[in-house]
Structure 1
Amino acid sequence: MRRQTEINYEMKLLSSLEKVFQDETPVYRPECLVLSALWDETVSFQAAYTGDCFMRERLEVRVVSELEKWVRVRTVEQVPVGRATNVIVDDNYLKTTPGMYPDLLRDLPEDHKVIVCSHQWRSLWVDVEVTEEIPAGDYEIEIQLLKEGEIVCSAKMKLHVVGVTLPKQEIMHTEWMHADCLADYYHVEVFSEEHWQILENFFAEYVKRGGNMMLVPLFTSPLDTAVGLERTTTQLVDVEVKDGQYIFGFDRLKRWIDLCRKYGIEYFEMSHLFSQWGAKYAPKVVATVDGKEEKIFGWHTPAVGEYTNFLHSFLPSLIEKLKEWGIAEHTYFHISDEPREEHLESYRAAKESLGDLLSGFHTFDALSSYEFYRHGLIDKPIPGNNEIEEFLEHGLTDMWTYYCTGQFYEVSNRFMSMPSLRNRIYGVQLYKYDIIGILHWGYNFYNTQFSIEHINPYEVTDAGNAFPAGDPFIVYPGADGHPEESIRMMVHYEALTDLRACKLLESLTSKEHVMELIEGDLAEPLTFRRFPKSDMYLLTLRNRINREIERLTAKA
């Protein structure tokens, strides 16, 4: 039996852009630890820690600061990664192999104790919610680890608060909320009171981190579903077939809209009217027919035919309600997700079957081919950030963009295997190109690819080895029905606050002035494919922007 000698503990401060792997000693980078913030944003940093204990220990975490009431400390938990990347990779990945990766952020237990594993590095994620209650000035935040009431290691972070409020987020931002995945994971009946409460919990967190547009499942979303298979029915619209006529009920849809508005959702996207990858079929629609519930549309139904008659009955009724509820001007419609060029004719047929039913509304879809826009089939194309150059070269303005599993080479994304800078640089890119909307397909997709099986996202992070880990979801389903956030969620939120800060400085100076700060010291212009790979670049840039805002508003 080994005799325990004195244990050595160590703590290092790190920026929010570091990822701490258990078997790698993190590098202390003082150049990345200048932290400043404006009012109405949450800023984050990390405190990594280790010890040479024989087994493991539980130490108490303590925050010492006059900002303590605004500070939240979470542990960064390692999660299993089976598929880390796609087949092709560039030189800007942290790792490309399976293993345990830092991602999940979990609140401290009631006793505020964390586990120290022998000779392994872990980290604490520290958020400071900077509100107007905090006077402008300099503050110190000390993070301590205590054993039996005695401090065994600690570190002090300094924060400079600028007494100016970040402007409201302008960019439209949607992450697809999969209502069926929540019902499936928590084993609750779809749209039961338990389900509604869980949805409300997820909606609140969604808005808190910059989501301001919500996918509305009019009918079960025809997304990532194998042909011939079905996802759990999540249909907000009641349908009855009576004497050959369609009758609609909108009570559940109204409840969904009201819940969105309660938490500040401003924009609404109606779920896709046709199947994914080509718009060849109708989505699953369940109706009451002669007193019995049955599936009246689905994979067995062509996109054009009786389903056309259904839409010509349904859409005018829906639009009437959207106008009655005062959201018509903020509503967008999807036709079919991710059509490719070989689907041009089937997409055209589906779109033309609608006639002028959607006149006055924006239609928008994630797609890669400019041909859909050139043929006038969509007025708001959403190209991937690896394909957006063609659209920009044609002079398109008011552009949207998205990324998912297919955007893995050279461009921004948020896979667990990527450095966090590759996630956060997105905000500066969006600013440069005046992007008006961003989309991601997986806020909480807890299925395998094609929705063949349900998964536990704490155990499977890659949709059953289908996509690089992290692509299918950005929050985890907490045990209490509330979402647990990820490093990727927080860093993506930071990208959005960077964008808001750029917009604020532009309002005080000019676009040219802000772009000089962004590109002035770069050897080549910033693009979606070319951007600095240094954490210091982005952290220093944000501090420069904050200082400029402080200087200019002090003169006012």
Structure 2
Amino acid sequence: MQDVVGFETRCLHALVKVFPDEELREQPYTRGSALRGETFDFQVAYRAPALTKPIRVSVASALGADITLREVGLAPSELPCQRRHDDNVLRVTPGLYPDPLYPIDEEQGVTGIHYQWRTVWISVELNEGTPPGTYAVTVRFAAMTGEKFGEESFRLEVMPAVLPPQTLIHTEWFHADCLANYYGVDVFGDAHWLLIERYMQTAVRHGMNMVLTPHFTPPLDTQVGGERPTVQLVDVRKEEDGTYAFGFGRLLRWIELCDRVGIRYFEFSHLFTQWGAKHAPKVMAEEQGELRRIFGWETDAAGEAYMSFLGRYLPALMEFLREQGLEERCYFHISDEPLLEHMPWYRSASELMQAHLGDMPIIDALTHYDYYEQGLVKRPVPANDHIEPFLERQVPELWTYYCCVQYRQVSNRFFNMPSARNRVIGVQLYKFRIAGFLHWGYNFWNTQYSLQPVDPYRVTDAGRSFPSGDAFLVYPGKEGPVESIRMEVFYEGLQDLRALQLLESLAGRDRVLAMIEEGLAEPLTFSRYPTDAEWLLGLRERVNEAIRDTSESNRRGESNESGEYIERRE
């Protein structure tokens, strides 16, 4: 659309990534649908013929919902992808990529820059009581003096059904030390706790219901022999006779904070080092009146000293968790991403953990089926490019994950990947009944091995180590997190999963699976799936229509295809 001469606007779906140095080829997208209780996103791109600022952006709608406008910012990438990438990428060159979503200041507005396409991101948060119907959402661009530049109107149909609660367990590893580093606050001081709460609130709003809980400083992404800042929630005192006493006051404060913001599950950090389980994490203890490190890289994880420590610590922790009524909400880790050659050390650690934890779930990211087959981990988390053997053997309660090395064919969320490749994970999680999803980078603002902290607005690839988009989902704002396109789109995938589950409850799983694979040349898997956004958007629209039609049929008391009566559902 064009009002002022030369000022252009175009409505787009949320899976488009708009680059300022490219012509905009995407067709207008002006209609969509959503369930009540869902967050629906779309974009409005704009282009000015000359440097134009400030431009006021406003929204008008009769829709009873919270509507948020944010500016799509640009982030630099020196390492956009791995060398042996596949063809399902947008570009492979270093440069500026659309990613951070900045709040729009009413006084400063947005800026039009000399024929560059830029974008405003619109999030419509529907509540469960929104009346069904079709509503216009109009986005206007104008000068601060009131002169109208242009506008776009999107028509959103609200379906007569409520998006059901999320059943998937979802964790994005929460790095408390990175918050303290970036903001320059004391670990577990009042300012740190406030930041932790704000970052957790944002995570919960985007489907994260489990949090990495650092009972001891997590031995993750740390150089051998090095250490990350201490973020230990459990107090340890080593007595003169060699026994230990434990204090759980800070851990209780963490749990109470999580309860307050809506975190359901606690993922206790790894008790053995990454990539091998050969050493202990950093453990700080008070000894003879001084706080000192009693375990770390110098510790043989299978040695008597550390095994004896865990033999006292784990029963004390379990007693605390039982007192708090948390037995059904806790998960544990041994070591992250063990290889086959690490199995002897992992076996030793696993036997000790299982002896003290009993049936408490232990989850670990890994690629080799042998660890599960030999009973060393009962809740494996295979990568999405190594999940097939686990699916073929019908491993129950199966999880999955991806990181920097899952970049060929499978879903991931690097800067240079199409957003459809990010969002399709929701359909895959549904089809294969995946119980949990894990990712290592909610806010990892360090270089590889945590050699030094970084400014994530300048360094998005962990110091030229991981493709941009792998290490973090949120940027640090002045008082809390700045979200990203990737975070919003992944949440759209989680909403797709919930919508598919709702349709299954109304019409049966066979109908949903048939709808997913209708017209496909081969069955959908984690590595084979339609890569275009249109397929994904079209599938979701068909699912919404089927939910609406089935819900209306049920309200009239009609039977389903099998002749069984379906009770009324709101």
In structure 1, stretches of 5+ residues that fail to align are: 1-5
Matched, 1:320 2:316: no
Write out per-residue CA displacement over residues 402-446 of structure 1, whole angstroms, 9 at most, x where no aligned residue: 000010000000101100000000000000000000000000001
SS at match of 2:534: helix
Aligned mate of 1:47, from 36, 44, 62 = 44
Contact 2:18 2:119 (8 Å CA) reproduced: yes
Contact 2:65 2:124 (8 Å CA) reproduced: no
Contact 2:271 2:280 (8 Å CA) reproduced: yes
What residue number does 1:158 align with? 155
Contact 1:277 1:343 (8 Å CA) reproduced: yes
CA offset at residue 134 of structure 1? 2.2
Q: Which amino acid aligns with 1:16?
A: A
Once residues 361 and 336 of structure 1 are traced to their aligned partners in structure 2, the CA distance between those partners, rounded to angstroms, is: 16
Once residues 448 and 381 of structure 2 are traced to their aligned partners in structure 1, the CA distance between those partners, rounded to angstroms, is: 22
Once residues 131 and 352 of structure 2 are traced to their aligned partners in structure 1, the CA distance between those partners, rounded to angstroms, is: 59
SS at match of 1:357: helix
What residue number does 2:238 align with? 241
Aligned mate of 2:130, from 110, 134, 156 = 134
What residue number does 1:189 align with? 186
Once residues 549 and 106 of structure 1 are traced to their aligned partners in structure 2, the CA distance between those partners, rounded to angstroms, is: 34
Aligned mate of 1:108, from 104, 108, 129 = 104
Once residues 133 and 535 of structure 1 are traced to their aligned partners in structure 2, the CA distance between those partners, rounded to angstroms, is: 30
**How many residues end up aligned between the 2 structures?**
548
What residue number does 1:335 align with? 334
SS at match of 1:23: coil
Write out per-residue CA displacement over residues 330-359 of structure 1, whole angstroms, 9 at most, x where no aligned residue: 211100001011111111122224461011
What residue number does 1:35 align with? 32
Q: Which moved more, 1:501-510 or 1:109-118?
A: 109-118
TM-score (normalizing by structure 2)? 0.95
What residue number does 1:464 align with? 463
Once residues 24 and 173 of structure 2 are traced to their aligned partners in structure 1, the CA distance between those partners, rounded to angstroms, is: 34
Question: Any residues of structure 2 matched to 1:156-555 within 5 Å, and which?
Answer: 156-243=153-240, 244-305=242-303, 306-354=305-353, 356-480=355-479, 482-555=480-553
- Alpha carbons of structure 1 residues 130 and 355: separation in structure 2 relative to 1, 3 Å: closer
Q: Which moved more, 1:67-76 or 1:493-502?
A: 67-76
Write out per-residue CA displacement over residues 254-298 of structure 1, whole angstroms, 9 at most, x where no aligned residue: 000111111111111110010000000000000000000100000
Write out per-residue CA displacement over residues 118-164 of structure 1, whole angstroms, 9 at most, x where no aligned residue: 11110000000111342110001111110220211111111000121
Once residues 326 and 388 of structure 2 are traced to their aligned partners in structure 1, the CA distance between those partners, rounded to angstroms, is: 32
CA offset at residue 112 of structure 1? 6.0
Contact 2:53 2:109 (8 Å CA) reproduced: no
Q: Which amino acid aligns with 1:124?
A: V
Once residues 284 and 30 of structure 2 are traced to their aligned partners in structure 1, the CA distance between those partners, rounded to angstroms, is: 55
TM-score (normalizing by structure 1)? 0.97
- Alpha carbons of structure 1 residues 9 and 68: separation in structure 2 relative to 1, 3 Å: farther
Q: Which amino acid aligns with 2:245?
A: I
CA offset at residue 96 of structure 1? 0.8
SS at match of 1:404: coil
Moved over 6 A (4+): none
Q: Which moved more, 1:182-191 or 1:515-524?
A: 515-524
SS at match of 2:356: coil
Once residues 108 and 119 of structure 2 are traced to their aligned partners in structure 1, the CA distance between those partners, rounded to angstroms, is: 14
What residue number does 1:25 align with? 23
Q: Which amino acid aligns with 1:9?
A: F
What residue number does 1:88 align with? 84
* Sequence identity percentage: 48
Once residues 26 and 539 of structure 1 are traced to their aligned partners in structure 2, the CA distance between those partners, rounded to angstroms, is: 19
SS at match of 2:403: coil
Root mean square deviation, CA, Å: 1.2
Once residues 196 and 392 of structure 2 are traced to their aligned partners in structure 1, the CA distance between those partners, rounded to angstroms, is: 41
